[in-house]
Every structure is written in structure tokens, then in C-alpha cells.
């Protein structure tokens, strides 16, 4: 493995690779949901994204944001 440093997201509590996020203390997913930064095309495998290290966690706030952006039928897993 390269020397990817792992950080913990302040919002969702997931770990992520520090280099993948534009925000100092947010994973790419939360940075995208909260601040509109480019998101990753997450590829979750064995409970962790191969691209950014995010573990799929979503805080209540993020979940609410997502559901308000996408009303209607249940969102895909
Ligand atoms: Zn996060
Ligand atoms: Zn990812």
C-alpha cells in the first residue's frame, strides 16, 4: 500500500483517505452532500470504498439532505 493517510469524518464518523477529500475533516461523501464538492463514484467492497475509503456511513443530517433532494420511492441501496 502507498502511504495513504486515513482520517475520520467529523460528520458521518466514517474513515476515509485524506487525499481524496477537499475538506479537512469531512469524507468526500459528506463534502459533496454538505458543500457540493465533487463526489466519488463509490465502489463499496467489504464495507469500504475502494476509491476513497468511505465506509458507507451517513449521518442523520446527510440522510435527511439526500431524502429531501430525492423525494419519492425508496432510494437504491
Ligand atoms: Zn462523512
Ligand atoms: Zn468512495
Distance (Å) from CA 71 to ligand 2 centroid: 23
Q: How many domains does the chain have?
A: 1
How much is the average pLDDT of 37-58? 94
Distance (Å) from CA 70 to ligand 1 centroid: 19
Strand bridging mode 44-45 / 48-49: antiparallel
Asked whether residue 76 is assigned to any structural domain, the reply reads no
Residue owning grid cell 467492497:
45
Expressed as residue numbers, the domain containing 26 is 6-69
Yes or no: say if 11 and 23 are a contact pair by the CB < 8 Å rule.
no
Asked whether residue 23 is assigned to any structural domain, the reply reads yes
Asked whether residue 26 is assigned to any structural domain, the reply reads yes
Instruction: State the average pLDDT for the chain.
Output: 88
- Angstrom distance (rounded) from CA 73 to CA 44: 23
Asked whether residue 74 is assigned to any structural domain, the reply reads no
Distance (Å) from CA 53 to ligand 2 centroid: 6
Q: Which ligand is nearest to the CA of 17?
A: 2
pLDDT tens digits, one per residue of 22-35? 999 999 999 999 99
Asked if residue 62 has pLDDT above 90, the reply is yes
Asked whether residue 47 is assigned to any structural domain, the reply reads yes
Amino acid at each position: 500500500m502507498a502511504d495513504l493517510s486515513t482520517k475520520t469524518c467529523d460528520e458521518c464518523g466514517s474513515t476515509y483517505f485524506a487525499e481524496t477529500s477537499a475538506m479537512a475533516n469531512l469524507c468526500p461523501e459528506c463534502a459533496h452532500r454538505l458543500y457540493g464538492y465533487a463526489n466519488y463514484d463509490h465502489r463499496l467492497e467489504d464495507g469500504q470504498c475502494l476509491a476513497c475509503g468511505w465506509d458507507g456511513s451517513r449521518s442523520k443530517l446527510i440522510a435527511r439532505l439526500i431524502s429531501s433532494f430525492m423525494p419519492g420511492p425508496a432510494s437504491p441501496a
